[in-house]
Structure 1
């Protein structure tokens, strides 16, 4: 784990140095982000999932989906409660929750799991991605929508961006009331469109091929592996460049940052690991949960903030610097927290 994290840190610094030396800028970073989300990460998941995997592997490992669903259920409950205890309101509360519920499985989690568990890691990633993507593109998108503050607690630390978002939402609310609610079919179609993204489609195609028993020829699989292997260095170089361009330091004045990072990246994964180890002995034998699955889900539970959360908030201009600050600070913090958690549980 430490070896992987040291490599991650070097790649982050390469990306940071390239932007600071003006080898490239924001336009190039936007292109890298698009390439990662639409090509490299989907190809990485697909190529590793279908490589030597059959229906027997799927039947033996579906327990990882159950663990992922339980993990997200507890994360949602814990950080909804924590946001209320910290007296956060409106968009600040929602973006805080989104930043700590959804870990960076794509840029950091997948490469890390593939390195630590080279044999079963691909099927773990494919099955986890079903739950992860389903929640991200529904609940995660909803959390990143601008909302009005309800009450005055935490209002002193709000931002001008929040006020603008509240004003914009008030106008939207008036328009929506005048126009009426959209039809049920339109809402269902809008929900389904959220799942039409390359990562989720790649996972579904891989699972379909596995269930059908179809094999991807090596002549096709080999170049796909080569393309997918570019995801790790490029994702970390991208994050390092983002670190150089963003006014991320503003989030350091937010007290919830420190409480949230310790809770999400140290306390939660350790408590979750202890809970699973205590419960797993009481599960029926037909539930396929292994110790390796528990280790994988513990690592996933302690990942830093998902970069996509910053993208969701940015497109709505809903406290984007707050979200980017969480991404960057949590990514740097993960170099220590993941090492600490893995030293205890592995």
Structure 2
């Protein structure tokens, strides 16, 4: 029951900050361009710094060796289930073409960077960031291979491959992850002043990410998306049923309790913002991704506490 109250408290805070983002747009303190620049700042600088700083200050070499196998295998299992789920839902609703492919990607990948990391830091402050660093290795490999491939329009598919997309994995977030793992394994420490400075920058990740999400809501065509039944199946299947299924399987195999909580919460994340960015860049169906992000992000304020409550009863 403790995890339920922690999740509920975190999401109450998230809701307030999301509304601040909405207010920022309404008062013209923010606009579409500043949101775009804010997203780049978070993804290319602040988030990698936060991953690096939290990881090296929250784990030891013993920790990483102790949990590496369980976290990586649990993450692969989770993504396997989500990939299959997206495929089944796409077939169930007869979604074809670019819309169906982007819908599949939106079902498979969750918003770990903007919502998952802040939430995990709230409920697992000691080793949550270590688990996240290991999780992100698998997450980024799959995102830049399968995820990117699914957002390619039909006419570009024959000129692309999963392996070719992997070159994009060399990004700031992965650099932060690999540097953190090296520092932990070598047991290196940063000078005190540098450590505090990086911590101050990294702590900006949560509020800025949630302000960004709130701001993007103001540019969504709510009427266009709110009547699409397939988005609500993502909520019921992907954000409630799948986390409970993953939770039960990991418990059956006696995975460490903290890792079970970690993977279960990430399985229930709303759709990933990066999928909309990929779809826009590849000139695919960006609207499908935006609709999934908007609907699932709103409902995650209710589904994540529900998941925490139900799993606390088992």
TM range, smaller chain? over 0.9
| Alignment correspondent of 2:192 | 218
Cα deviation, 1:184-219, whole Å, max 9, x if unaligned, reads: 9xx96x444211111111101111222223222222
Q: 8 Å contact 2:247–2:260 — kept in the other structure?
A: yes
Per-residue deviation, 1:293: 0.5
Relative to structure 1, the CA distance from residue 248 to residue 313 in structure 2 (aligned partners, 3 Å threshold; closer, same or farther) is farther
Note the aligned Cα RMSD (angstroms). 1.8
Name the counterpart of 1:156.
Answer: none
User: Paired residue for 1:257, among 228, 231, 235?
Assistant: 231
Take 2:229 and 2:62, find their aligned partners in 1: how far apart are those partners? 48
In the other structure, the counterpart of 2:250 is 276
Partners of 2:105 and 2:307 in 1: how far apart?
22
- Give the distance between the partners of 2:121 and 2:214, measured in 1 at CA: 22
- After the TM superposition, which residues 179-328 of structure 1 pair with which residues of structure 2 at under 5 Å, given as runs? 190-280=164-254, 289-328=255-294
The verdict on how the C-alpha distance between 1:91 and 1:98 changes in structure 2, with shifts beyond 3 A counting, is same
Counterpart of 1:3 in structure 2 is 9
Query: Alignment partner of 2:170: what SS?
Result: coil
- Cα displacement string for residues 76-112 of structure 1 (whole angstroms, at most 9, x for unaligned residues): 1122122112211121211111111101110010111
Render the CA deviation track for 1:310-331: whole Å, top value 9, x for unaligned. Answer: 1011112312122111111111
Q: Is the 8 A contact 2:144 2:166 kept in 1?
A: no
Q: Which moved more, 1:105-114 or 1:86-95?
A: 86-95
How far 1:296 sits from its partner (Å)?
0.8
Check 1:212–1:76 CA distance in 2 against 1; reply closer, same or farther (3 A cut). same
2:105 corresponds in structure 1 to 98
Structure 1 gaps, min length 5: 148-168, 281-288
Stretch of structure 1 that moved more, 228-237 or 200-209 = 200-209
Rounded to whole Å, the distance in 2 between the matches of 1:21 and 1:52 is: 39
Is the CA contact 1:104–1:303 (under 8 Å) kept in the aligned structure 2?
Answer: yes
> Is the CA contact 1:64–1:127 (under 8 Å) kept in the aligned structure 2?
yes
SS of aligned partner of 1:95? helix
Indicate whether 1:39 and 2:45 are aligned. Answer: yes
Larger Rg: 1
Deviating more after overlay: 333-342 vs 323-332: 323-332
2:223 and 2:203 mapped to 1: Cα distance? 32
1:26 — aligned with what?
32
Rounded to whole Å, the distance in 2 between the matches of 1:125 and 1:80 is 26
Q: Give matches, 1:159-170, under 5 Å.
A: 169=155
Q: 1:224: Cα distance to partner? A: 0.7
